[in-house]
Amino acid sequence: MRPFDLQKRPLVLLYPNQNLRFLYFKPSLPSSTFHFPSTSLFCLIRMASFIIRAILAGSAGNDVNLIIGDQVLFSIGFFGLLYSAYTLVLDRELVSDYTPSAGIVSRIIRRRRLYRLTLLVAVVIGSVGISEANTNDPSAVSVGQGLHQASTIIFLVLVVLLAYQTLILAKAELRGGGYKHAKGSFGAKFGIYVLLVIALLLVVREVFAVATTNDLATANKEHFWYPFVALPEILAVMLYSIPDLVPMRSELPKSRFC
């Protein structure tokens, strides 16, 4: 796999700034959910990944271990970002007047452990695929490419499920069953629109990833990678910092943390 040319990519500077935004806006840890630490961890992982890519750019991308490590970090980072979005939608659902369907499909797609396990499977499959794709064995390369594609498709399915759940919640909130927050702030009143934008950004990011799975030359071009991968991620992270978008721990039922 040919690494990105990151010698001219200042986007990495946005991630430490975003970490500072979370430190400023987030509530105290005892009263907050895991969303802020998780998103801050995502920023740190992205920073580490950019540093690795800068090293690769300076070394002509000859270190296979660094290439593998970079790709694995990118998958792990997206795991955290997507799972944060998924749990945020479910948490907003818990503090709204909306009662989800009791159907089996509705129950399955709301199982956090199942969603998290599927994300983990996607990361593991993708990591193995990247490792195999960077060997000198043609058969292993073929297997690796197949595993990488399977991982990307799993991520896409999970992103589509997130978008579907967000649309269902939006429909309920617009009918008057929204998040009732005492402050009545922008994040509480209009948070569902923010969640819809986050879901759309992640869909754009993952559709591009799937479309270019077998075309690394296109995927690695800066004028494609910036708007379709980097920009959706950083915008989604920035939207997380809107005050009162994330429900407080005290507002959620105790069963949420069991």
In a domain, 43, yes or no: yes
Q: What is the domain extent for residue 188?
A: 10-98+163-243
Report the alpha-carbon distance of residue 61 to residue 154 in Å, rounded. Answer: 28
Q: Are 97 and 180 in contact (CB under 8 A)?
A: yes
Percent of the chain surpassing pLDDT 70: 79
In a domain, 93, yes or no: yes
Ramachandran assignment for 184, one of left (phi > 0), alpha (psi -120 to 50 degrees), beta (any other): left
In a domain, 111, yes or no: no
Report the alpha-carbon distance of residue 163 to residue 199 in Å, rounded. Answer: 5
Q: Are 166 and 154 in contact (CB under 8 A)?
A: no
Q: Return the higher-pLDDT residue of 95 and 88.
A: 88
Range with top average pLDDT, 20-24, 125-129, 246-250: 125-129
CA dist list (Å): 158 to 119, 135, 199: 8, 29, 11
Tell me the per-residue pLDDT of 69-79, one tens digit each, with 9 for 90 and over. Answer: 888 888 898 99
Range with top average pLDDT, 33-37, 178-182, 189-193, 214-218: 189-193
pLDDT at 153: 96
Report the alpha-carbon distance of residue 114 to residue 87 in Å, rounded. Answer: 12
Ramachandran assignment for 30, one of left (phi > 0), alpha (psi -120 to 50 degrees), beta (any other): alpha
Residue 25 confidence (pLDDT) above 60: no
In a domain, 143, yes or no: no
pLDDT at 154: 97
In a domain, 91, yes or no: yes
Q: Return the higher-pLDDT residue of 180 and 217.
A: 217
Report the alpha-carbon distance of residue 172 to residue 73 in Å, rounded. Answer: 36
Report, as an integer, the average pLDDT of 33-60.
Answer: 77
pLDDT at 214: 81
Residue 123 confidence (pLDDT) above 80: yes
Range with top average pLDDT, 63-67, 101-105, 141-145, 170-174: 141-145
Number of folded domains in the chain? 1
pLDDT at 23: 45
In a domain, 226, yes or no: yes
The closest alpha carbon to 75, from 148, 162, 161, belongs to: 148
In a domain, 46, yes or no: yes
In a domain, 119, yes or no: no
Neighbours of 60 (CB within 10 A): 8
